[in-house]
């Protein structure tokens, strides 16, 4: 059993399930408001330096094997974030499968008050939409992946890109909003 997992468990914090060889680094933050360890699972040999957060009303994060989540990265789930195997997520990336706050000012303030006084609300609609990141994808530093997006196998998101639409397999996207730059060549695909 991973010592980081044991240490966090002994502190009484909701944590996650770490498969064999997975590691939470000192900068990693697990904020599992659901209180169910099974809602965040980190696959074998994956390294987490960033933050994994589920909301109290829902959320699930599944990270495949041999993945990297860089320092300062936030993966926040109110629905479900599925990350394939061998995915590289650089530093300071934001991945949000919901709006994170209601659109209406009154509802947004009520949510804020609840968070401050008693924690994340257990019932709320945040327009949740699942995010899927395929095997062998690479997400560049400071990118933002928004709700409902699917990144295909081998997809590459350029640094600083804001991804609001699906990314085809083996395609490089960049910009705000992100748009296709080019497809990977057959040689680049075979290298994976």
Helix H segments across 99-159?
A: 105-118
Is residue 154 left, alpha or beta, with left meaning phi > 0 and alpha meaning psi from -120 to 50?
A: left
Query: Would you say 21 and 42 are in contact if contact means Cβ atoms under 8 Å apart?
Result: no
Closest listed residue to residue 98, CA positions, set 119, 113, 79 = 79
Query: Catalytic site residues?
Result: 101
Give residue 40's Cα distance to chain centre: 10
Coil/strand/helix, residue 89: strand
Residue burial 149-170, b: 16+ Cβ < 10 Å; e: rest: bbbbebbbbbeebbbeeebebb
């Amino acid at each position: 059993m991973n010592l980081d997992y044991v240490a966090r468990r002994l502190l009484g914090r909701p944590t996650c399930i770490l498969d064999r060889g997975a590691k939470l680094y000192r900068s990693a933050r697990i904020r599992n408001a659901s209180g169910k360890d099974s809602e965040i699972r980190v696959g074998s040999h994956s390294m987490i330096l960033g933050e994994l957060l589920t909301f109290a009303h829902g959320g699930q994060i599944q990270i495949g094997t041999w993945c990297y989540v860089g320092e300062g990265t936030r993966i926040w789930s109110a629905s479900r974030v599925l990350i394939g195997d061998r995915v590289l997520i650089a530093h300071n990336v934001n991945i949000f499968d919901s709006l994170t706050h209601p659109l209406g000012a009154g509802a947004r303030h009520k949510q804020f008050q609840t968070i401050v006084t008693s924690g994340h609300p257990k019932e709320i609609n945040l327009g949740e939409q699942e995010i899927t990141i395929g095997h062998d994808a690479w997400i560049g530093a400071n990118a933002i992946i928004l709700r409902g997006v699917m990144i295909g196998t081998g997809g590459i998101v350029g640094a600083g890109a804001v991804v609001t639409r699906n990314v085809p397999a083996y395609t490089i996207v960049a910009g705000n909003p992100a748009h296709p730059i080019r497809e990977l060549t057959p040689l680049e695909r075979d290298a994976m």
